Amino acid sequence: MAGGRTPETVTVDLDRSEVALIIGEDEESGMSVRVVAGSEVPDSATELPAAPEIVLALAMRLLKDPDFHDDVLDWYYEHQDEDDDEEEEEEPGREDD
């Protein structure tokens, strides 16, 4: 960090069944990816539950496929207008008496 500043942190509470994908970016080290689970997976587990497996797959793809984050952003921007249209349809219309 420039100027010896301590980075600010934010605390997020996860349910035991939740998994978070934390993506960071700074000028010095570029993109960082972390996976945080609401509960530990036992060492004796033979496979991961679906949520952690999906999040780990996304994290690995972000780290190993430099074009993937561009594809994700392109998809997001292409579908952003659709989300805005859906929100407008859900808003109740004003009824005149």
Q: Are 21 and 55 in contact (CB under 8 A)?
A: yes
Name the residue type at position 2: A
Residues in the chain: 97
- Each domain of the chain, given as residue ranges in start order, spans 10-40+47-89
Whether 95 shows a pLDDT value over 70: the answer reads: no
- Residue 59 tokens, joined: 């994290």
Per-residue model confidence (pLDDT) at position 90 = 66
pLDDT digit string (tens) for 14-59?
Answer: 999 899 999 888 788 778 888 888 888 777 878 888 888 899 999 9
Average pLDDT, the chain: 81
Per-residue model confidence (pLDDT) at position 21 = 92
